[in-house]
């Protein structure tokens, strides 16, 4: 027992993480400290309340988003357009993915891809498979390679469209009859 206590005390004295260097959870999550760090990150505010010196803040101009241009290239400073140079990588995956504006909505993030619009004929085939042939939505999703939630949404939307009735006035038939009588009466008078 004496031997183990000597070893433990030797290890404790050798350890670089002393009690003073450790930060407790309470100190780490201190509200005032977090506020101070946030103010330090954001920088000074101008009269409008914008953090103009923050490198992540860009003042909006002409009420248009400042990260997408009409040609689809990202804007760096005013008229300068960012040029992305492809680099060779030692890994198998390429570091540069060419950007297709129809698939990649954000110019700086080529890994984000939007879902394609499903054509009407494919929607009709999906509804036909679900209603007439009686396939399960999972089978249809696997068959066409479309997300299950999108398949279920297409089927649900089709059922809502089929059950939808146009709002009709309560006395619409009576009003139509009265108008017809009025028109006939006016023709008889003339």
For 150-169, write each residue's pLDDT tens digit: 999 999 999 998 888 766 65
The reported pTM is 0.39
- Closest by Cα among 95, 106, 18 to 68: 106
Q: Which long-range contacts (CB under 8 A, 24 or more apart) does 24-28 make?
A: none
Domain residue extents for the chain: 27-111, 118-164
Nearest to 84 by CA among 94, 93, 71, 97: 97
C-alpha dihedral sign at 164, 166, 167, 173: negative
Helix axis angle, 137-144 relative to 148-163, nearest 10°? 120
111-141 pLDDT per residue, tens: 787 778 889 999 999 999 999 999 999 999 9
In whole angstroms, how far apart are CA 117 and each of 12, 37, 98, 100, 110? 63, 44, 21, 15, 19
Across 21-30, 87-96, 97-106, 167-176, least confident range: 87-96
């Amino acid at each position: 027992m004496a031997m183990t206590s000597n070893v433990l005390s030797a290890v404790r004295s050798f350890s670089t993480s002393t009690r003073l260097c450790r930060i407790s959870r309470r100190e780490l999550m201190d509200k005032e400290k977090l506020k101070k760090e946030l103010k330090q990150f954001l920088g000074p505010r101008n009269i409008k309340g914008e953090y103009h010196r923050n490198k992540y803040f860009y003042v909006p101009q002409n009420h248009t988003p400042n990260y997408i241009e009409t040609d689809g290239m990202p804007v760096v400073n005013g008229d300068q357009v960012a040029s992305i140079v492809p680099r060779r990588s030692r890994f198998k995956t390429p570091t540069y993915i060419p950007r297709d504006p129809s698939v990649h909505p954000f110019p700086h993030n080529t890994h984000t891809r939007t879902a394609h619009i499903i054509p009407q004929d494919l929607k009709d085939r999906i509804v036909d498979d679900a209603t007439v042939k009686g396939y399960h939505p999972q089978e249809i999703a696997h068959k066409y390679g479309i997300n299950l939630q999108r398949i279920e949404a297409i089927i649900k939307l089709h059922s809502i469209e089929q059950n939808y009735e146009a709002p009709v006035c309560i006395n619409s038939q009576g009003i139509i009859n009265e108008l017809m009588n009025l028109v006939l009466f006016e023709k008889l008078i003339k």
